[in-house]
Every structure is written in structure tokens, then in C-alpha cells.
Amino acid sequence: MKPQRHLAPTSAPLSWREIGRGLCGIRCGQQERTAREAELGAYFGVKHVFLLSSGKAALTTILHGLASCSSRRKVIIPAYTCYSVPSAIIRTGCQVVLCDVDPQTLDYDYSDLQRQVDADTLCIVAPHLLGQAADISRVCAVAQPHGVTVVEDAAQAMGGRVNGRWLGTQGDVGFFSLGRGKNVTAGSGGVILTDSDQMALRLRAVYEAAPEASLKSQIVNVLMVVAMRFAIHPFLYWLPAGLPFLGLGETTYDPHFAIHKMDGMRAGLLGGWEERLRVSNGERVDRTLRYLDRLPASLQHVQPIRARGVAYLRLPLLMPSVEMKAAVCALARERGLGVGALYPNPVSDIPELEGMVALRRFEGACALAERLVTLPVHHYVDTTDIERICRSLQAVSGAIPATAGRNQSALSTGPSRS
């Protein structure tokens, strides 16, 4: 990788002041955690908040709480989602049930979702992929007749709203991720939100059993945060991006992750999160609008990005062909544009899940794995970057026919949401 300005796919910078607050938080962990819980509850209008070490720790805690008072064990998830989601399900001893997605909306294929729900379904996990809102009211309409819980995965959508309601608060229980590159970061971390007293009672029992983080892990996280503060800057990111052993941006399946309560260092880092969230999401909306004004008209867009005002974690574009996606990603790597793929394969193709999930092709999920690219919209992306990215997309779309080598089994349009 040559030295040059190189954008990370996503980024959430932390200031030295915020890092200092994290260090101070090591001394008064419980106090910092309690303060953040109160702030989050008041801001999002929910009665109960639980802070954990990561988003997948938050999901695992939710699933343990649900399974503790039910014999049901099936958990429905999209066939195209972050690998942390099936990792958490397997960690709890539940069964992964895959449902196809609509590649035009990034949401469930609702005709398939209806078929997957049965008497052994514990919950439906509904992600807002990249910040694009899932239709939670429609998920609830499918779930409620069967007594199925709706878990709202807002890991990538903190601060987003639909019809005046916060994403993460519309299901029975929801969660955010505070990992590196999210809308707001604490280095790592997870937030559970619910307005249900009964749900909170179940979660409290699981949460209280989680251990506190060690001093060593807090110090390691401080060092990681400081290192990433430098590494994610566009003038330095070319260096870690050129070291394959670092695995930057890799999607891995690993059910053997640590679970503990959020420590004082992370809770301290989260201080002032309301203003950071406002600024971060405002920047993401602004950069998205600039892309929409400049993107080549010839490109096939994921339809919802035409609706302005979404604070995307990364802006999704569905390429017309597999070849065009490959060409865009290759050119972006060469030029350091921060454009790339999302998850490499559908969940059904994770080797460790062989024999645990249905043996069928998920057409919508395959279309996303084969043709989806994402554009950076974070703090470090400036007007010149956006122009360079749009010119690169135009160059590729002009050089490769839109239908070249398209996998005929991959969907060009998805099932209707109506």
C-alpha cells in the first residue's frame, strides 16, 4: 500500500479530552456507568438501560433473558447480516433460523418471514442495516400473533428516527453498538434499551451475573483507542490498511467472545455522547446528500437512499453487476477511497454453521453479498473525497456494461414491501 490519503470505510474519532475522561472513569466505574444509563434512558425515552462490553454481548444478554423463561429456541435473523448476530445466538444455545432479505430495501423479505415463524420461535431480530430503517411495525405484525418477541438490532443506527420514534425503541427490546466506527464510540460497548418492566426484570437477572471488566482489559482498551485515534486519520490509514495481518474490516464469526458489564473507562469515554451523536449523524446526513447530488445516474441505487435525511453508517449502493462491484472495489483500494464491500457472504455460507441452518439459496442475501458496495460518510470525508469517489464510480460504470456477467440467480429487484 503506497503512502497517500486513504479513507477508512467508517470512522468515529475521539478527542484527547474524551480519552482523558475515559482514563478518569477507571477510578469511578460504577458512578460513570450509572450516569450514562440515566442519560441514555432520558434521551431515548425508555425506563430501562443496561450497558455491556459490546453490541454482541448486549444481544447475548437479551437472548439469555428471553430463553430463561421460555422453551422456545429458534431465533430468526436476516440471511445477510453482521456475523456477530449468529455468533451471539450460538453462544446462548439457541438455533439460527435464516430469512431472506429484499436487496432493494435491506429489510426482510416479508413473504419469507411469514413462512419462518412457528410455535418454537423465540424472537425475530430486526436489524437496521447501515442505518437504513427496517419496517419494525411490519415485523411486529408478523410476530405478535405467535407471541414472538421483536429484538430491534440498532447496532448501526443509533440516533436514527422513523415517524418521530427512535430506532432501537420500537420493538420489545433493542440494542446499540458503541464499537469503533459506529455513530458514537466508546472503543467498544453495547447498550440495551427497553420500556417493558417484565423484560427488564429478565434482563436484570442476566446482567447482574455478568462480571466486571478487569483493570488490564480497561488499560488495553485505552491503548487501542489511542492507537486507533492516529491510525484512522486519512494521512495515516494507508499504513494499517496495507498490513493484512491486522485484519482491518474483516468479518469474522466467533461465538467465544468476552461478556462483562461496561467498565468505567468505556463509560467515561462515552461522556458527552449526546453532542457527539448529533454532530456525527449530522455529518453523515450531509455527506449522503452530497453523494446523491453527484452520483452517476446510470448506477442502480439501493432505493431507500433516494429518501434524504438518513444518517447512514456507510452509504449503500447495489452495483448492477458482480464485475462492476469488483472493479469499483479494486479502484477504490488503489486510490484509498474507503469504498468497499460489506459482509463477504450470506450467513448461510459461514463454514461453522454448516448443518445448523437451512440448505437453500437465499437469493436476496446473495445479491447483496455479490453486488453491494458502501461509500464512506464519516467525519474525515471531505468534498474533494466525494468528488473523487463519484468520478471513480462514473469511470467504472462507463467502462463496464451494467449487465456484464450478472449472476442470473441474483435479484435485480427485490420483493415488494407493499
Q: Which residue has the higher pLDDT, 17 or 417?
A: 17
Residue 129 half-sphere exposure toward CB, CA atoms < 13 A = 28
Residue 154 half-sphere exposure toward CB, CA atoms < 13 A = 31
Tens-place pLDDT, residues 180-224: 889 999 999 999 999 999 999 999 999 999 999 999 989 888 898
Domain spans of the chain, in order of start: 16-209
CB distance 371 to 321 below 8 Å: yes
Q: For residues 391 and 181, give the distance between their C-alpha atoms in angstroms, rounded to a whole number.
A: 25
Evaluate if residue 300 carries a pLDDT over 70: no
Q: For residues 154 and 159, give the distance between their C-alpha atoms in angstroms, rounded to a whole number.
A: 9
Evaluate if residue 305 carries a pLDDT over 60: no
Residue whose cell numbers read 466486571: 212
Which spans in 45-97 are helix H? Answer: 55-67, 84-91
Tens-place pLDDT, residues 96-126: 999 999 998 999 999 999 999 999 999 999 9
The whole-model pTM stands at 0.92
- Considering the four listed CATH numbers 3.30.360.10, 3.30.70.920, 3.40.640.10, 3.90.1150.10, the one that applies to the domain covering 16-209 is 3.40.640.10
